[in-house]
Amino acid sequence: MSEKDPTESWEKVPFKTETRQILNILIHSLYSEREVFIRELISNASDALTRMQFELLTNRHVVDADAEPGIWISGDPEAKTLTIRDTGIGMDAQELADNLGTIAHSGARAFIEAAASQPSAISDIIGQFGVGFYSAFMAAESIEVVSRSYRPDDSAARWIALDEETFSIQPAEKTDRGTTILIHLKEDAQEFAQEDRLREIIRKHSDFIPHPIYLGSGLEPVNQQSAVWRKQPSALKDEDYTNFYHQFTLDHQEPLLKLHLSVDAPVQMYALLYVPPSPERSIFSPRKDEGVKLYARKVLIQEYSKDLLPPYLRFVDGVVDSEDLPLNVARESVQSNRVMAQLKRVITNKLVDALNTLGKEQPEKYAQFWKVYSRYIKEGIATDPEALVPLTPLLRFQSAKNPDVLTSLEEYTAASPSHQDKIYYLLGDDDRLLASSPHLEGFKAQGTDVLLMADPLDSFVLLKLDQFDGKELVNAAQVDAPAPASDESNSEPDSTLSDEQRSQVLEQIREVLGDRVTDVRATDRLVESPARLVDADGAMKPEIQRVYRLLNQEMDAPKKVLEVNLHHPLIQRLAQAPSASTVAPLVIEQLYENALLLEGSLPDPGKMIARIQNLMAAALEKPHGE
């Protein structure tokens, strides 16, 4: 059958070949989100209304010049129909044929190719290629469109498709301007005639369409129309942002941070983003996945877009809206979309800047953020090479001088003496053990602060972060700490022990500990502690050792060097003890395990108990002659 001009005949006209292919794909495929066809039809109606508004700016000689711009949607469960009506610009018979009977060849071909390669994502790519109207066939047995153009001399026309093979165009009786779509629903699509279901779909996908949407016999619009994120920040109060957050997330708590963006370059964008008080979603939260809502011209195109933020900012919630994105950009094409890449870069930079500002201007609130989200920031530094520089200023640590206050690297360097060219840190597994570590004694004696890092992720951060502001980060356990001033040394002078006694006590300790240590040597870097364990020269860095351990990777723990404080009373008495003393070996064993305990590497503390009890008994033993 040859194709005829539908404006000259009421007979059935076959769809173009590409159109039939598209309809076949849509009708005979399975979809997890068939509801998107309502989104598409509402978007089309909204476009028709917007075009009419532009026309009215220069032309008042139109049909129904004073008609209310709006969209009316109603379902009839008994008749199994869905009706969508608008007062937009309308179409005549030729425009119905052009717009509904054919699809631009390039768009049709691109859709068919995309559908063939991505059969599970058809509902996400429908609108991208100009085939949005045809998505209605996912739910429709037949479709009837009646339209009246805005031009007074045009006549109304009816477009009817009873199947996916043919359509017909006929004259129609319609005096008011706009388009009415009547869909006869399939048996398995009856839900779309239910008012509650329609309200849910409108609020999910089209809540911020700029024209009112009326449902059923309702006199009030069911959509918000005014998108908060598109308003100027100067026009909003704190309570407006908080109220939107509560409504958007159903979280009754206050967000830790909100960021409202209106950007024109390098990409046009509106965004309203929040940092929730917790990354854990409550059972009442409407958010079922990570990602922000992505809108194109106030139409939702992705409910959970994971491509607008790097993984380390996945806790951020909110909306992003851009005029530069095509409607319904496919998920599979998002990553290669230049606009999306620009949006991601702008949003990420703005969020990091906002967190930096929060840390400087509201340190107490930032401390709340850090307590909850520090692992995400550290994850970013450890896994994303591009994140190292921007995220490093967000890091916070306790320090030996201020264990109860969070300190940034910038604050640490600002408080350090001008001659200090290093940033010292100490790794461990427990805050309390770190604060009392013997490695700190030399630093404390000189007044040098040391950052305390007890979080397992700190080791991963240190594998990437080796300097800040031109100053090297150095492990306090691996370097010679500044020697304490002589008047801060232990009151017992070194002369208490002879050179022979010094050598003998070190040798005695070596004999007792055997190959559990690589060496035993004297140190003047301790003040209050009798001994400490340090890595031998050439040993694997402590950061790498911890990473291996945290990842459960097989690794032979390197043996350490025991450094002994010969000024300490305990060591001096040990050196002066009789060579046949039975207590001395117990003391040496306990010294070693005490050092292991402070390092967080004592395998079985329970085995200490018997030895400690023996030492207690020896301490209470009566001298001869009593």
In this predicted structure, the answer to whether residue 492 has a pLDDT above a threshold of 70 is no
What does pLDDT average to over the chain?
A: 85
Per-residue pLDDT, averaged over 34-55, amounts to 89
CA–CA separation, 52 vs 69, rounded Å? Answer: 9
Given a cut of 80, whether residue 114 has pLDDT beyond it is: no
The per-residue pLDDT for 102 is: 61
pLDDT on residue 10 = 59
**What size, in residues, is the chain?**
626
Q: Between β-strands 467-468 and 292-296, what pairing exists: parallel, antiparallel or unpaired?
A: unpaired
User: How far is it, in rounded angstroms, from Cα 380 to Cα 260?
Assistant: 23
Q: Is the pLDDT of residue 482 over 70?
A: no
How is the chain split into domains, by residue range?
A: 13-215, 228-361, 489-620
Q: Where is mean pLDDT largest: 75-84, 422-431, 441-450? A: 75-84
Reported as a single tens digit per residue, the pLDDT across 332-384 is 455 457 888 899 999 999 999 999 999 999 999 999 999 999 999 999 999 99
- What mean pLDDT comes out for the span 52-63? 92
Looking at residues 123-129, what average pLDDT do you find?
A: 45
What pLDDT score was predicted for residue 566? 93
| Contacting residues for 549 by C-beta, under 8 A, at least 6 apart | 555
The string of DSSP codes covering 602-618 is -S-GGGHHHHHHHHHHH
Q: What is the pLDDT of residue 105?
A: 41
In which element (H, E) is residue 591 found?
helix 583-599
Euclidean distance between CA atoms 186 and 138, whole angstroms: 9
pLDDT at 128: 45
Confidence of residue 490 (pLDDT cuts 50, 70, 90): very low
Higher pLDDT, 276 or 327: 276
* pLDDT surpassing 80 at residue 32: no
Higher pLDDT, 580 or 483: 580
Q: What is the pLDDT of residue 112?
A: 56
pLDDT at 118: 59
Mean pLDDT confidence for 47-56 = 90
One-letter-per-residue 3-state SS of 408-426? CHHHHHHHCCCCCCEEEEE
The answer to whether the peptide bond before residue 326 is cis (omega within 30 degrees of 0) is no
> 489-620, what's its fold?
Four Helix Bundle (Hemerythrin (Met), subunit A) (1.20.120)
Residue 397: DSSP 8-state: B
> Whole-angstrom distance between the N-terminal and C-terminal Cα of the chain?
127
pLDDT of 168-219, one tens digit each? 999 999 999 999 999 999 999 999 999 999 999 998 888 888 899 999 999 9
**CA-to-CA separations, 124 to 127, 131, 137, 199, 200, in angstroms, rounded:** 8, 12, 15, 21, 19
Q: In this predicted model, what pLDDT tens digit does every residue of 223-241 receive, in sequence order?
A: 988 889 999 999 999 999 9
**Across the strands, what pairs with 320?**
271, 294
Q: Biggest alpha carbon distance in the chain?
A: 132
Beta strands in 299-377 (DSSP E): 299-305, 317-322
Would you state the pLDDT for residue 621?
77
| pLDDT value of residue 111 | 55
CB 297 within 8 A of CB 286: no
* 568, 530 contact by CB (below 8 A): yes
Which residue matches tokens 């010679």? 480
Greatest mean pLDDT among 309-318, 324-333, 489-498 lies in: 309-318
> pTM (2 decimals)?
0.73
Q: Which amino acid is at 616?
A: M
Mean pLDDT of all residues in 242-249: 88
Check residue 485 and give its pLDDT: 45
Tell me which residue of 161, 116, 128 sits closest to 25, measured CA to CA. Answer: 116
User: Which residue spans within 483-590 are E strands per DSSP?
Assistant: 517-522, 531-535, 560-564
Strands (E), 130-194: 140-148, 157-161, 166-171, 178-185
- d(CA 301, CA 132) in angstroms, rounded, equals 13
Contact call for residues 328 and 125 (beta carbons, < 8 A): yes
Please tell me which residue, 235 or 619, carries the higher pLDDT value: 235
pLDDT at 288: 83
> Which tens digits make up the pLDDT trace of 144-160?
999 999 999 999 999 99
**The pLDDT of residue 594:** 92
CA–CA distance, 373 with 356 (Å, rounded to integer): 14
Instruction: Quote the pLDDT of residue 536.
Output: 83
pLDDT band for 554, please (50, 70, 90 cuts). Answer: low
Q: Do domains 13-215 and 228-361 have the same CATH topology?
A: no
Percentage, residues of the chain above pLDDT 70:
85
pLDDT digits (tens, 9 = 90+) for 385-440: 999 999 999 999 999 999 999 999 999 999 999 889 999 999 988 888 888 899 99
| 3-state secondary structure at position 94 | helix
For residue 557, the model assigns a pLDDT of 72
Percent of the chain whose pLDDT exceeds 90: 55
CA distance 81 to 533: 80
Architecture of domain 13-215: 2-Layer Sandwich (3.30)
User: What pLDDT does residue 626 have?
Assistant: 47
The pLDDT, as a whole number, for residue 182 is: 98
Q: Which of the following CATH numbers is that of domain 228-361: 2.60.40.10, 2.102.10.10, 3.40.718.10, 3.30.230.80?
A: 3.30.230.80
